[in-house]
Amino acid sequence: MAISSQTQTKPPRAHRRHLPIASGVALALAFTVLVVLNLLPLVWGVITSLKSEADLFRFPPTLFNFTPTAENYQRVVQSGFLGNMQMSLFYSLATVIGTLVLALPAAYAFDRFQFPFRNALFLLIVASIPLALGAAALLIPNYVYFSRLGLTNQWYTLPLIYIAHQLPMAIWIMKGTLEGIPRELDEAAIADGASHFEVLRLIILPLTKPALGAAGVLTFVGAWNEFVAGSVMVDSPALRPIQPAIYNFIGYFGREWGPLTASATLAILPILIAFALFGRLIVSGLTKGSVKG
């Protein structure tokens, strides 16, 4: 049987590009150097936190030739540092919950509805994302406003500030994901009698879990690591977050390297746990809406 000349040929399969061996080795070495440079301060800090005062000032410094001790951690615990960790955990979790509860409906409104100044308002939100990094620029006006309203030195002071700082980034992440969700799902649900709240709860919420996880992890890290507002907006030692508590070990007569590195080691543990449990959500959540079908 003759083969028809009109037989359609299948499109060629995409092939992965392979780097030359020299380029692969160079890239692996570059990443190795980058990893070592990032982990070396962390490892050195953990080792320093286990040294006694005599070993701390030994010259030349020793890496492993010393007797480990827990006296620095005991001193940190006795200073009430665990209470500061509990307050920071409360502040961070409250910030995550408040930010996500506000970010998802806001992103849904920006993506699904038309209203006056919609684009201008979203550009303003995107322009406010650096607030999470440049919070020091707003410290004085925030302190003046909160003082006049009697909102300083309260358990809700820092969560309010942290939510305001982290909300623009969360809205931006959520809107990018919503752009990849077909509007036909909303229209079909509304045609069946669902309200917009039900669409948001039953359809949008399950489909945006990766983005919610990514925004939640980034919000948690931002609130946990915040220092400027936490050191000024609250005065009570019982309300002090963890970062100003670490700074207390930098005294007038010099740095107390043992307690300082011990407290820093304890402070980084929740961040490591958060990234170990939810780190994959950052990549999946940030790339969820990057390709639209």
Go through the domains of the chain in sequence order and give each one's CATH number: 26-69 (no CATH), 79-287 (1.10.3720.10)
Name the maximum alpha-carbon separation found in the chain. Answer: 96
Share of the chain above pLDDT 70, in %: 86
- Confidence at 277, pLDDT banded by 50, 70, 90: confident
More confident residue, 289 or 203: 203
Query: Counting beta carbons within 10 angstroms of the beta carbon of residue 169, is it exposed (0 to 12), middle (13 to 18) or buried (19 or more)?
Result: buried
pLDDT at residue 4 in the model? 44
**C-alpha closest to that of 81 among 249, 280, 255:** 249
pLDDT in tens, 26-65: 888 988 999 888 888 888 888 888 888 888 888 787 777 8
- Of 64, 118, 79, 103, the closest CA to residue 218 belongs to 103
Residue 173, pLDDT above cutoff 80: yes
- State the Cα–Cα distance between residues 221 and 214, nearest whole angstrom: 11
Q: What is the pLDDT of residues 224-273, one digit of tens each?
A: 998 888 888 998 888 999 999 998 888 655 678 888 999 999 999 999 88
- Cα separation, 279 vs 220, in Å, equals 12
Average pLDDT over residues 86-113: 94
Cα distance between residue 72 and residue 77, in whole Å: 9
Confidence of residue 90 (pLDDT cuts 50, 70, 90): very high
What pLDDT is stored for residue 132 in this prediction? 65
pLDDT digits (tens, 9 = 90+) for 187-238: 888 888 888 888 888 889 888 888 898 899 999 999 999 888 888 899 888 8
pTM of the complete model: 0.82
